Amino acid sequence: MPTPDPWLVRSRSASEPRLRLFCVPCAGRGAALYRGWPEFSGSEMELCAIQLPGRESRLREAPFIRMSDAVERAAEALEPQLDLPYVLFGHSMGAILCFELARLLRSRYGVGPIHLFVSARRAPQFADPQPPLHLLRDARFIAEINRRYNGLPREVLANTELMELLLPMLRADVQMIETYAYEPGLPLDCPITAFGGVEDSGLRIEDLEGWRAHTNSRFETKLFLGDHFFVQSAPKEVLEAISRSLNLANDFGSHRGFGR
């Protein structure tokens, strides 16, 4: 029996998938963010959530504090999975990680994604208008995370032991995104779709439109009912939008070896 890959949580094992959808979570979350997605992912798509160190099944591992390190290691982990056309979906922090991952996989292995979906995150060339959080003391750090993103459930906040486990990983993730420095490069050849929540007060439509600069192909934006975590409140609608984009794009033929 093959050794399980700690980087991938395969939520759906299609018998003959046509493509793989790699999903990267937001700060402070793990692969479980996409636990409800397989029900809506269809029969031709293998859904693979990326499990970063420091959370869930990898809780004992040190989390990354630099985006470049996370991207480097994720690229190494995904290289054996590039035998099929692949799609990248990243939510919030995960959007930046997926963007840099797409650029690295293209330059290093010569095969980019057939589509990049970025969710709930401003384009990388735009500076964060809010002051950084990762150096704040615990109480204020937690309060600010909750104020900006409404991202910590009450039951988690009320559980002291759980918060002690969660805080180092959450702080490391926030440090990773707040210290990320965008470097200009060649636009991607694949389409990019930018998703947002209509009730996400920290994100403007202009922030999403900025992703247009990073593709030589088609670009579109799509808004969903919900706040910063619409991927949890509207998974069916998000997967339907992904499927529609892929079905209309006729992107599969651009991948090495596909259709032979």
Each residue's pLDDT tens digit, 86-131: 999 999 999 999 999 999 999 999 999 999 999 999 999 999 888 8
Q: What pLDDT shows up at residue 260?
A: 26
Residue 84 domain-assigned (yes or no): yes
Per-residue confidence band for 219, with pLDDT thresholds at 50, 70 and 90 = very high
Residue 246 domain-assigned (yes or no): yes
Q: What pLDDT shows up at residue 147?
A: 83
Residue 54 domain-assigned (yes or no): yes
Arithmetic mean of pLDDT, 204-221: 96
Report whether 113 contacts 105 (CB < 8 A).
yes
Residue type, 158: A
pLDDT of 146 above 90? no
> What is the count of structural domains for the chain?
1
Tokens of 1: 């029996």
Q: What pLDDT shows up at residue 139?
A: 87
Residue 47 domain-assigned (yes or no): yes
Q: Which CATH number does the domain housing residue 198 bear?
A: 3.40.50.1820
How far apart, in whole angstroms, are the C-alpha atoms of residue 133 and residue 202? 15
Residue 120 domain-assigned (yes or no): yes
pLDDT of 179 above 60? yes
Mean pLDDT in the chain? Answer: 88
Range(s) of the domain holding residue 241: 8-254
Phi, psi (deg, nearest 5) at residue 22: -95, 125
Its pTM stands at 0.90
Candidate from 143-157, 179-193, 216-230 with smallest mean pLDDT = 143-157
Residue 1 domain-assigned (yes or no): no
> Which residues lie below 8 Å from residue 221, measured CB to CB, with a gap of 6+?
193, 194, 195, 196, 205, 208, 209
Per-residue confidence band for 12, with pLDDT thresholds at 50, 70 and 90 = low
Per-residue confidence band for 3, with pLDDT thresholds at 50, 70 and 90 = low
Q: What pLDDT shows up at residue 35?
A: 87
Task: Report percent pLDDT > 90 for the chain.
Answer: 65
Q: Which residues are catalytic?
A: 92
pLDDT digits (tens, 9 = 90+) for 45-84: 889 999 999 999 999 999 999 999 999 999 999 999 999 9
Q: What pLDDT shows up at residue 191?
A: 97
Q: What pLDDT shows up at residue 14?
A: 60
Residue 139 domain-assigned (yes or no): yes
Residue 260 domain-assigned (yes or no): no
How far apart, in whole angstroms, are the C-alpha atoms of residue 192 and residue 118? 7
pLDDT of 160 above 60? yes
